Structure 1
């Protein structure tokens, strides 16, 4: 197994995210969710984790964000490990889960108020961050509506805003555009590019190859719990002589990218 030092140091610099030889099997299951997964994401990078449903994307994000522990292997965030530095890590991490994590019977503003207090914001600073997040997600005019009345795209945008309240340096997004309309997807893409250009490191999981090709400076192709290929989209296509990422995925795995 690789040492943590060999995974976090590259050209003398500490990676934003370093995962080394991660193994994960769920209790009562014969399925190996992650199988020797190793990954490095540099600070300021927009990295896409591309895989079919069931490939291990959500499990990987759960381990990267400290919500689950691996059976073996290590995860470090900016050179820190969860055992010793969990509090420090969570101050710089933002997570936008695949499942909508909002309270339907609260307004958008009330949801942001609730999550902002969990992050430790109070008073004027909290109100400023709420206003900024509402503006960022284009929901200022709908801020007083109950969330249950929102469209799927509006909920996704508010879900993103809750993960950004504390201005994280590193942002994990797990399939953030599943089930949203084209207009909302385009807006979310614009927002993420804007964040990344301002310096936020982004790890983005998706099974939409157009998203990966459009957004990501580098991608890792995940299959059966392992990253089998990684590089920039252009590099990978040039090396494989494939027309697009879906053809490349089929060539590498024998699977359609959108298998269920």
Structure 2
């Protein structure tokens, strides 16, 4: 879902609910706008407002936690890549082909996640090929053997981290959930304007409320796609590592 498309539609829907309340207010008979009706509407609007606020806070909290988790995974992966490169350097000339493969793997992951280009070296397949290459090495010294063992362990960790990152790269926000939330918000604005006299102040408040709700939905959708849009996970850790991997 494109946040730049959904957010304006949300604002228009909220303003439409407010406008519907204003229009209906002028057409309803007086008995439908008495104090008992106002009291019942206030109770209903208060209940829906509580539900909407609770649901929106839960969604935003969940998306922020997911966004932070992806950022941490990228930072951890960058640190592990640096450690893997250090171990490959200890293997001497025998480890240079594996280092070249590692550079290609990191470059492919950056292209896949941030540039949205699928390359053969990207994903778990690239880590599997690197692991196969490492298993063909037969170092003789104790230090080299220990470095190879650590390199194999780090390669497995990177493959696992790559799977986690890939699983979190797609949108998880469901359309029915946002639809229900938007319906509640439209009903709230409708009920509030049903008993509010038309004025510039009321119109300004309706506009600010609509823009605020649209901004909240925009943030939710942006954080739900951590490698897309304006708000995204930084690729700086992996790009910095890629420079360090230069021969």
**Which category describes the TM-score, using the shorter chain as reference length?**
under 0.3
**Higher Cα Rg: structure 1 or 2?**
2
TM-score of the two chains, using structure 2 as the length reference: 0.19
More strand by share: 1
TM-score of the two chains, using structure 1 as the length reference: 0.18
